[in-house]
Chain A
Amino acid sequence: MADDRDRDGTEIAVAEFHKKIKEAFEVFDHESNNTVDVREVGTIIRSLGCCPSEGELHDLIAEVEEEEPTGYIRFEKFLPVMTEVLLERRYRPIPEDILLRAFEVLDPAKRGFLSKDELIKYMTEEGEPFSQEEMEEMLSAAIDPESNSVLYKDYITMMVIDEN
């Protein structure tokens, strides 16, 4: 009995995931032909609440691409892969406190801020570096114009509020 109910529960969950994934996909399907540009797949996956790293994203794309990459991803290939990702709750988003600690690691002197240059240096030289566009966009919201630095605690709070 419990198995049946579990199965029903999973089936319903899968059905709902399918609809959510379809919605997210369709918004980027400009020609309404069930394909999206491969460059938008990252955005779609992230819009569904997942936070893969660039490396993980690269692997996911490899899974949904055609044998001979066409530059487009078809919905039929995307759906099953993405459903698994959601069911397995993979690539969970970073909690607020971990994010704060990450900033604090980069600010060992505990000043409560990062200078603009410091942030640029870390974001464009370390880890999975930002593109120029990504860097500029982050700066436009993160920089406190008076001090010309990133008051990271305030910044995080602001972004979290905005998302909710």
Chain B
Amino acid sequence: MNSPNLEDMGCGTSSATKDKKSEKALKAALVIQNWYRGYRARLKTRQRYALTIFQSIEYADEQGQLQLSNFFSFMLENYTHVQEKEPGLVTRLFGSSIQDKDRQDYLELIEIPDSYCGPRLQFPLTFTDIDLLIEAFKQQQILHAYYVLEVLFETKKVLQQMPNFTHTNTSPSKEITICGDLHGKLDDLFLIFYKNGLPSVTNPYVFNGDFVDRGKNSMEILMILFVSFLVYPNDLHLNRGNHEDFMMNMRYGFTKEILHKYKMRSVLMPPIPMDGDRAEKKNKLGTTTVAQGIRTSGSFSEQLTKQEWEQVIDILWSDPRGKRGCYPNTNRGGGCYFGPDITSKILNKYQLKILVRSHECKPEGYEICHDGKVITVFSASNYYEEGSNRGAYIRMSSGTTPRFFQYQITKATCLRPLYQRVNAIESSAIRMLKERMISRKTDLIRAFQLQDRNKSGKLSMGQWAFSMENVLGLNLPWRSLSSHLVTTDKDGNIDYMSGFQDVHIQKPVKEVQSTLIETVYRYRSDLQIIFNIIDSDHSGLISMEEFRSMWKLFKSHYSVHIDDSQFDELAERMDLNKDGSIDFNEFLKAFYVVHKFDQLTKSDTKLA
């Protein structure tokens, strides 16, 4: 770049120096800005990758969940056959020990001790009870089971009288607020109420399902929502999400939370109506019947037909996508993907303007797609991990554009710098991914070796990525993630065994084969759920007989090829036989992943 030499032109040295100086400063500023923007973009991308990992794994787990549901359906359908072979087992599984008792019968069983200093509700409920609960929960008090039951029975009674679709009217002076998934994150609900006000006749709300699971205050959220609903049944609307399902609750934490807080099992999930058909929008739909039909006794669980159940899954599990048409949701293993043409068609058919739905975590708390006709709103901030995403809620009324409000809960008083937050969520995501890899180690190695013709221990990036995607079933940016997972040589080839280096599954017993250890580790969530269902007296113990029968059925349905004798040997050597019973929690806890560079070793934080 030829800039005229101002000194030569005799314009005086001081201004020339100043110009030169400011030119240098300009260039320096450009350098720094350029570098920073590059760095910041890479941080944001790393954050996005971490989110993609969390989401992929979550959806893969959901597939597992649906597979487990199918397993139970399979057992139900083959009831008689199974009954012949393993009579005791079936009685335990399907013989309902819960007769549909009367509300009074239940309440009579419970006494509130004088020492109880938690919140006391007064029926009929009023807004004072809402305030009372909120204050109590802020101080981490637990609502006594007696009141929980009262609220549940009352809610069930009211909900049963409501239709599947609810219509409300709004106006510019009476806007309605729509919230998405909360997943037990009480702080998010408090923040929404703080920013947007408590529910009331002039401040109506819709909560779009998934109130429970994953967060640690599912119960408290449910209580606040149900009590608010009972006080304002025409202004607080609850829609069902796919997590309002007792089997999901067993995998994703609600059951565990209840057991921990109340030491008893089934909280009767009352039927929640489908949707709210607003003046200009349609919400996600739900049904009036409860679970899948395993508990066949009692008036509250009318068994759905297979077709009806499939419709429910379609409604509660589907996601909008850019591709036209309707096709199976392969990510989640249930429901479908629907395109903008489907949205237009349905909205036109019912003369609706917008579809507001939830079910998918979005980095900004909400997302608009399908030409503005579909809005996804998600209200659990930091859903996967601190820093993973914002939460949001929407305010709208007929004739106005929806307004979005975003937030993010943070533990510290001021937000940590971006790079620290990204580091945290990235390490967490990579850790989860590594655990996934180790649980499929045998299959992965087999796939790698198939491609490694000359047994060099190395594969090209393309080959490695291909195997990883195939075996793990996760659609991830493997090339970009490879630096976190494996070592690459200077030619760009991957040492595929290096991926298993600093992680291993703790072997509870030395003599047992790795494949068995790996299999039990991989299916530990499913096994836990199955065992919990068998353990109808909630003792934490099942007989060795049942343990063996369960394993055999499980094996055949999941096509797992492990010798029965291996499994027996494992149980025996673990010396968990206490009077012929197995403590299955102890059994499953013994299978965990060790990360080489950890101080603590237990990493199974997500086990339901």
Contact = CB atoms under 8 A, between A and B. Distances in A.
Interface of A: 15-16, 19-20, 23-24, 26-28, 30-35, 42-47, 50-54, 93-94, 98-99, 101-103, 105-106, 122-123, 126-130, 134, 137-138, 140-141, 159, 162-163
Contact of B321 (A33, A94, A106): A33
Interface in B380-429: 415-420, 423
Contacts, number: 135
Contact of B32 (A34, A43, A99): A99
Q: Which of B37, B49, B419, B420 has the most CB of A within 10 A?
A: B37
B29 A123 contact: yes
Contacts of B420: 141
B461 interface: yes
A106 B29 contact: yes
A28 B478 CA distance: 15
Contacts of B510: none
Q: Specify the main secondary structure of chain B where it touches its partner.
A: helix
B44 A24 contact: no
Interface string B14-46: 000000000011111111111111111110110
A47 B42 contact: yes
A140 B35 contact: no
A163 B25 contact: no
B24 A140 contact: no
Interface residues on B, range: 35 or more
B369 A102 contact: no
15 contacts: A15-B462, A20-B479, A23-B478, A26-B477, A47-B41, A50-B38, A94-B34, A98-B31, A101-B28, A105-B25, A122-B29, A126-B26, A127-B32, A134-B37, A141-B420
Contact of B423 (A34, A44, A52, A162): A162
Interface of B: 24-42, 44-45, 48-49, 52, 320-323, 367, 369, 415-420, 423, 461-462, 465, 477-480
A32 B323 CA distance: 7
Contacts of A28: 48
A16 B38 CA distance: 22
Given A137-B418, A159-B39, A23 B25 contact: no
A101 B30 CA distance: 12
Q: Which 9 A-B pairs have the closest CB atoms?
A: A33-B322, A46-B41, A31-B322, A127-B29, A141-B417, A23-B477, A47-B45, A126-B29, A102-B31
Nearest to B331: A32
B462 A51 contact: no
A27 B417 contact: no
Nearest to A156: B35
Nearest to B461: A16
A104 B197 CA distance: 52
B319 to A, nearest CB: 10
Contacts of A15: 462
A46 B25 contact: no
Nearest to B323: A33
A35 B321 CA distance: 12
Nearest to B337: A32
B28 A24 contact: no
A38 to B, nearest CB: 15
